[in-house]
A and B are shown apart, each in its own frame.
Chain A
Amino acid sequence: MKRPGIIVKIIVVFIALLISPARAVQVKEFSLDNGLKLLVIENHKAPIATFQVWYRVGSRDEPKGKTGISHLLEHMMFKGTKRYGPKSFSRIIQKNGGIDNAFTTRDFTMYFETLSSDRIELAMELEADRMQNLLLRPEDVKYERSVVMEERRMRYEDDPQNLLYEELLATAFKVHPYRNPVIGWMSDLASITQKDLLNHYRRYYRPDNAFIIVAGDVNAEEVYRKVKGYFGGIKPSGYGHQEIRHYNEPPQQGKKVVYLEKEAQLPYLLIAYHVPSFPEKDSVELDVLSTIVSGKSGVLYKKLVREKKIALNVFASYSGFYLDSFLFFFGGTPRPGKTVEELKEAILQEIQGLKETPPTEKQLQKARNQVEASFIMEQDSLFSLAEMVGTFELLGGWRLIDKYLEGVRKVRPQDIQRVAKKYFVDKNMTIGILIPEKKDKEE
């Protein structure tokens, strides 16, 4: 069964993270002379540890005409160094019982290995090696480029809902590089050369543009000594991450609508509003708002799926964890027999309701409880725990976790009404509509 809205999976990575004061995460912080920062979270529940390297580079940092280069470079990071040949990285990790992977976002690129804690040094050695000695052979670039093109076909070209999301971003933003897909436009992918990749690698893959998170059954001081041993000798770029450029998307001047016509069974709707990101003002309020309207007991599901029976599924989704202002989304699929217009009107009516009436204190308490519970439960996964700390570190420092939590506790019903009125206005809105083109032929 499909979950409501593919978009939800893509953009709501950290839908709700909240510490109760008694459960604060213990983070130990270290810095190397070359600018590399290390954060360690000791957790001894199982003999496992996860090792994550975060580079402050994502699709926001790409040269014109080279969209997708950060993600393609991430692929190339698995294609070997002088010491470890082209196919060895994952094999070495797997034969030590571990898993490894990586992902690229609009704002960062993260690599990780999860292993028995007694083998965590292996991850350090391999990551330190590929931070400075990547092979980047032209023949590997050629094949990896076609792999990424297949990935693009799979995730976007053949998935109408994701394609609509891509179209909507390209419409909502006209200046900010958030308008480009992380995976890149097909024609840009074709034009990226080995030299482009090498420049990107040299510019961004430096210790002073990265930080490391280790979580698990480890001793923090021992991890520090070893990380210093492996990474301490790598030269910094000198730029540092202070150089991060913040782009200003000019305020939207009026409603925008984008249509996508593709073979599909049912239409699909997205409604997006420009909103600030954490730790800017109003971000926490928007986060709590999205929690209040979501869930089976939230107003969207109750009204549109259960009562009015207009939607097959419906969602509200906001993540404040971006370096620059991003979008608040509403969306869903109309039930067979209902139109996308009916769904749109029904969602807009609920949005109007948010502007007219503040939520009850009980609704707010429910949102706080949900955030607290999911924060605690999330800690059962070392990976999620490390990822959460890394996210706040990226946005300005892991201690911002406290600011976020305090913010959630302080939100009042009128704040929800205020942000709804401020951001959910027509002038600030972009609508995306998938119109199904039907031509079913089965054999």
Chain B
Amino acid sequence: MENLSQLLEMGGYARFVWPSFGLTLAVLVGLLVVSRRALKGAEAELAALQSAIPGRLQPADTADEA
């Protein structure tokens, strides 16, 4: 218990240390989520387009990722 509160206090620097780590993680996770969501969105769009267009129009090399 004492250990935990000691850790949280960070020797009096808690209000500088924790925001640094928290913000870093928040930005990295946020960037990751945004990038993933953009990929999923683009893939969904491509899939919709390809299913809407029959055979000949579909470039051969996109088939494996659809």
Is B truly associated with A? Answer: no
